Structure formats: C-alpha cells, structure tokens
Amino acid sequence: MKKVLIITYYWPPSGGSGVQRWLKFSKYLPEFGIEPIVLTVDPDFATYPSIDTTLGLEVSDSIRVYRTKAKNPLEVYQKIRRKPAPQSGFEGEKKSGLLDKIFRFIRGNVFLPDARIGWNPYAFEKAKQLIKEFNIETIITTSPPHSTQLIGLRLKKEFTIQWIADLRDPWTEIFYNKELFRTKWAEKQDAKMEKRCLESADQVVVVSDAIKRSFSVKYPSVAKKFHVIPNGYDEKDFLNIDSTEKTDSKIISYVGNLGQQYPVDGFLKAFSNLVHNEEGWKLRFVGNCHVGVKSKVENLNLTKQVEFIPYVDHAAAIQFMLTSTILLLIIPEVADNKGILTGKLFEYLATRNPILLIGPTDGDAAKIVNEYVFSSVVDSHESEKMFDFMLLASTHINNEYDNSMLKYTRKNLAKEFVQLIQA
C-alpha cells in the first residue's frame, strides 16, 4: 500500500471543520490503496479555537499519527486576556481597546504568515525522518494555518517528492487580514510566501471554483496545477442519530461559527415578522456566536423565541441539523465571498431539509443548494423574501434522495485525491 504523509496542524482533539476535512479523507484513503501517515502538533503545545474529543473516536488504530511540540506565541495572548485562543485572524473578537489592536498588529506583522508558524521547525524535522523511514513519495500539506505550506516548500527542496498543497481558504486575500493592521512590508512578505508555495507545489487543491479562478488569475503560468475538491459530508455521520425529536415548534437552526462579518439584521427582521404572524416558531444559533447578535435579538424582543447554544461536538451538531424545519446558512459579507464553501453546507444538504441561504445569489454555495434541495438564496436585506420562504418551507416535505449528490460524500472526494496522488 502506497504511503502518503499528511501534514496538518488541526487534528483531534481540535474541533471545527478544518479538522474534519483530513480526518475524513484519512478514514477513506486506505479503501483506495493509500496508507495515510499523519503528522500534527502535540495538543499540549497547540492552540485550538475549539475542542471536540469525540472526533478522536474516528481515528482508526491502523493510522499512524505522529505529534511534535511547537512554540506557541498565542499563549501570551491567552494569559494576558484570560480567554481561549482567538479564531483565525481574531475573527469575531471585539476590537475594544488599545491592547486588542496591539495584539492584532503583532499577529499581522510579526508572525508571518500566521501565529502557528512556531510549529514549523519541529514538524519539518519530524517530516524528514518519516519520509526517510517510510520511503514516502507524496506529501500533502493542508491549511490554514498557511504556515503549514512552508513546511511543504522546505521538504520539496530537500527531497524528490510529489507535493500536494491543499488550501481550505484563500491565503493573502483571506478576509480577516484586513483586521490585522498589516504594513505594506508584511503584505509583500506574505505575498512572496504564497507565490513560492503555489508555484513550487506539484498540485494545488482548493475547495471552490471561485478560489481556483482567483489563484489562476494571479498565477496564470501554473493555472493547470489548480484543482477543486470541495468539502463534503460523511454518510456515516448521519447513521444512528435520532432525528425524530418531538416538538410542537417549527425550528430554524444556524449551526456553526457566526462572526461579526455575518449579516443577520435582515434575517432577524424577517423572523420577528414571522413570529408575530404565526405561532410556534423557534430560532437557535448553535456554536460560537458574536456577542452583537444577542443584543440585536434582545432589542427585537425575541429572547423567548431564540436560543443560543454554545459550541457542541460534531455528532450533536448533526442532530441539531436533522431536527430542524429550516437550516439557515449565512455567507459573511467579505471580499471574494462567492467562493466560500464550508463543510457545514454539505452536511446541510445531506439532511434534505430546506435551506435559507443569505449570501451572493451567484456564488458557488448558491449554485449547489439550488440544485439539490428546496432552498432560497437571498441578499442580506431581502427580508420579505426570507419571510415568504420560511412560511412556505414549514409545510415542505423532504424530496427523495438525489443520488447525484453522492459526489459530495467524503469517500468519493477522497477518491479524487487518490487520482492526484497517483497521477
């Protein structure tokens, strides 16, 4: 069986969608004759925005997982602020004072391309050892953090290997860079790193057509090496989960992180209108939620109809999705948001429940939900359209399963990676 080294910062016990991408691919690669060997950071030296210990149960005993220590500059932030590590790029964090601005400036101008770069020296040395020990011919680096791609760059220079760079988000153009007070010098250095990595990798995988188009325009001479393998859903995640929760309410659920860039005003206005016109509606936000959303709910006198549920493990998140009348998907109002395709979107699809998508009507997410489920895609200010759809969706009966959606299963997407590995 051909061995492949997967280098990823995020791995159980870390939670979040970034973990699930390669956790799931590693689970299915052996079915196609590929043995994944995983190199990650030791949790004692890592900084995770969220923890989900249940994900570790999905790691097969047959998968070799190697962990190394790391230098962790975010420990200083945690000790001074007395709070968990911030989301990527301080997404969703309040910009309340000078200290917060100082932390953002340091993050954006000192730690390039990101604050997890302290893992690189240790990961590089361990990767060299593993490549020699197992005679590895292919490595896969996945990011964010994009500093992980620099490990691949160094290994590519030292060994005759195939390097596949997997990017779940844009790099220099990721939206939260604007919140980091970056100097022109820092922007230039980051751009150099991106260019070296994308031009040196043998193949580059991204999660959406829009991101592929963006990179192809920036680097036309290597555009042929860019491939799209989106996030997906694991059919096994939906087995043995009780989706028959008894309730007299019609439930709208948003599952996942909700930062300050996510437009909710128009939707909350529509929901307020809904509860005043028809009884029995409930709204729940499941996951890390920006504090401003709760204030808006209170101002609209919706506290009895809205529930805020803190971050839950993945199985619980799936259950919340399955027991919903309508699933709410919001795309943040940031530059280049047409290419945002989260893993949550595909799990929403797998439930077959109606989806209300607030975001670009011509974006990649819009094209997919419109094709596979009963849905409505609206701009953030189109409250009347939201209201009309919610009334209609509450009486909608789930469609029969569309077999063409199977292309988004984690197993079938893993097969696409195998084709690149064997190319």
Task: Supply the DSSP symbol for 271.
Answer: H
Residue 410 lies in a domain: no
- pLDDT per residue over 134-179, tens digit each? 999 999 999 999 999 999 999 999 999 999 999 999 999 887 777 7
- pLDDT per residue over 60-115, tens digit each? 999 999 999 999 876 655 555 555 555 554 444 445 567 777 778 887 778 889 98
Residue linked to tokens 């969608």: 17
Domain boundary among 206, 229, 252: 229
The pLDDT of residue 410 is 96
Residue 411 lies in a domain: no
For 213, the domain range is 2-229
> pTM of the predicted model, to two decimals?
0.90
Residue 361 lies in a domain: yes
pLDDT-above-90 percentage for the chain? 73
The pLDDT of residue 92 is 44
For all residues of the chain together, what is the average pLDDT? Answer: 90
Residues 32 and 148 in one domain: yes
CATH number of the domain that residue 250 is part of: 3.40.50.2000
The two three-digit tokens of residue 310, written as one number: 């803190």
The pLDDT of residue 91 is 47
Residue 423 lies in a domain: no
Task: Decide if pLDDT at 2 tops 50.
Answer: yes
What is the distance between the alpha carbons of residues 11 and 41, in angstroms, rounded to a whole number? 8
Residues 200 and 248 in one domain: no
Residues 199 and 311 in one domain: no
Task: Decide if pLDDT at 234 tops 50.
Answer: yes
Residue 166 lies in a domain: yes
Q: List all residues 6 or more positions away from 203 whose beta carbon is below 8 Å from its beta carbon.
A: 162, 163, 164, 165, 225, 227, 420, 423
Count of structural domains within the chain? 2
Residues 32 and 128 in one domain: yes
Alpha carbon of 44 to those of 71, 126, 397: distances in Å? 11, 17, 48
The pLDDT of residue 120 is 97
3 state SS of 29: helix
pLDDT band at 245 (very low <50, low <70, confident <90, very high): low
Residues 107 and 162 in one domain: yes
Alpha carbon of 257 to those of 374, 376, 415: distances in Å? 23, 21, 29
Domain boundary among 189, 207, 229: 229
Task: Decide if pLDDT at 423 tops 90.
Answer: no
Residues 164 and 303 in one domain: no
- pLDDT per residue over 272-325, tens digit each? 999 999 999 999 999 989 889 999 999 999 999 999 999 999 999 999 999 999
What is the distance between the alpha carbons of residues 67 and 8, in angstroms, rounded to a whole number? 10
